[in-house]
Amino acid sequence: EPEVTQTPSHQVTQMGQEVILRCVPISNHLYFYWYRQILGQKVEFLVSFYNNEISEKSEIFDDQFSVERPDGSNFTLKIRSTKLEDSAMYFCASSDQVNEQFFGPGTRLTVL
């Protein structure tokens, strides 16, 4: 069964460093998303991406964040200068219909 994959599973970085989180969505899906979940809190929407552009973003998704689909299979989230409060699980999701979103296993980001 097709699934969303994410790498790395765990990323440790120093505050102020740049990180890139990678995702391979399900192959025939057209809509891509990033969410995050701070430990013990709810899943929060960051950004959605369709047709090579951002279609919606939350107020969390500030100028430190960017997304890219560099080729036909990968979808990346970049955080330019990480802060302690960026420590969280980051989930990539994809969908072919607008509302059935399938999530990847997540990348645990730890900022020291």
Partner 1 sequence: QKEVEQDPGPLSVPEGAIVSLNCTYSNSAFQYFMWYRQYSRKGPELLMYTYSSGNKEDGRFTAQVDKSSKYISLFIRDSQPSDSATYLCAMNTGFQKLVFGTGTRLLVSP
Long-range contact set of residues 48-56: C-beta below 8 Å, sequence gap at least 24: 49/75, 55/31
Q: Can you give the binding site for partner 1, defined by CB under 8 A?
A: 4, 6, 31, 33, 35, 41-45, 48, 50, 55-56, 58, 89, 91, 95, 98-106, 108
Q: Give least dist CB 43 to partner 1, A.
A: 4
Q: 37 with 46: CB under 8 angstroms?
A: no
In the block, which residue shows the tokens 């809509």? 31
Q: How far apart are CA 94 and CA 82, in angstroms?
A: 25
Question: Is the Cβ of residue 46 or residue 111 nearer to partner 1 in the bound state?
Answer: 46
Residue nearer to partner 1 on the CB measure, 56 or 68: 56
Q: Report the amino acid identity of residue 64.
A: Q
Q: Using the minimum distance from each CB to partner 1, give the nearer residue, 18 or 100.
A: 100
Closest contact distance (angstroms) between CB of 2 and partner 1 is: 13
